[in-house]
Structure 1
């Protein structure tokens, strides 16, 4: 666009305001903004999974307006929470977000003008070499022939052995050569072979739910046909819900990690966290926030009431959506409020861990 569009100013009729069709050089700020927009729309909203499963699996009738309102409310809710916790998770110099350093290095490699020292590479040259090498290395196993990424020799030798499939299979078992000394590879096999929660009646690694006979759980047997609510008598007459060992421990470790995150933020670093909290909340010192925030003070900040208005509006819309449209979503308004409350409570401790270590599982 910089090379093709005219640079001659265009005057708006009836005013003295002029503009140019040529945007000028593509700078690093525009590049970062384009990346933010692309990442925001890269993954589909999780609300679409709710609507898709309700329509495809349970044949439920959900109107397009209910689905659209649900999607917009869940997507906009995060912007409201972002404003509420901006002082703590963004402006605070204690929250340095390690993953952002990778993005900064990437943008600088593409936009910084460097003179190549003799016998060395510039950042851009190094980036191009690594990109081409990575593409060449991964294109074969990840696109053309994915099966060569996991060669389960044990499964090939003992085709009919359940134990061999558990040890060698990369999809339904431990995977050949994947043994380690972490708690997953220690506790999960012990739980399986000790038949914890009847584990040996089900596959070792699977994300399906099973009944007491080891068959895939028939969810329709415990739901009422008219409104798809839980049929307690049908559940009592059918079976409990069983999981594979890997799936069960996956849930357990996620809950344990969440509890540990809250414990670390509330107990082990309580004094430092409280001091950081007060500094982030008051922000009376002009030097608070680091160099980046002092530079950003040149620009007018976004009014806080914008974020609060978005938060109140989206919660109200979500609550009204749950009670409206003939209650197609089957979620009472207090369920929406409870979900927002849990998000409000957990967002700060989880955000602190991710902002300081970058080690958070978003699942």
Structure 2
């Protein structure tokens, strides 16, 4: 299952190599050219006429990086991307290509002061336990600067749902791979970018190389369909189709393109929803700023508990996202 292979792969920001190799193997038979640029972005081209269209998905996931060693053999670390401190204590992780097992440690609640219990623990109050007994022992198996990812495997559960890590943005990578298997009339570039989670860095480079007229960003996005959250505060809802964004903190999405995408959904009977939050940002913020700019839109798979050790998504939402983008591209 390609989606499981993508989500289970290790690829935090700056360390996307494992994910990149999977994608290169999958897309080469379906495109006219493949390039990996200096940053590590994959840029593929399906030749066509008219509008130059860039469809973007980022390969990196949120994770951590080893920054030091404690005397007792535990490891110091910092975040790669936006990981909320509240969701990481006691989670299991894998360190580097050697996949060293670790556990994110925190002082037990019984020993915390009232002040500590009431505030969000900082990274300086956390450590990664790899079972080493000394600093020397830890340094023999782990190098400074090694990456760390959550140790979570994709599984199906409930009614047509899946749970796993890195849904932001292996969902987009999977959809883009599937899209590239079809043929279109437009001049289509598929771009799998690096380092989105730390500032859309790969997208600036890839967009500059392509200079598109239209940029479509595929994402796994925030979802808040929980019982204690009012309906009007739910950014998206699982099972109600791909989410078409209005704006976020880095870009305002082109209203004409959004309307065209929604019209395709209506005509083809593909369910969709509007993303009702303007928080966050993605590669569209880079695409819209490069060269003379581009018209941009974002289409996302709703994902519960995003940027944590495990997220939840609907298999139907993934399939409908793929179908909606395919059918829109066929209109160009």
Q: TM-score range by the shorter chain?
A: under 0.3
Under a length normalisation based on structure 2, what TM-score does the superposition of the two structures give?
Answer: 0.19
Comparing both structures, which one devotes a greater share of its residues to strand? Answer: 2
Under a length normalisation based on structure 1, what TM-score does the superposition of the two structures give?
Answer: 0.17
Comparing both structures, which one devotes a greater share of its residues to helix? Answer: 1
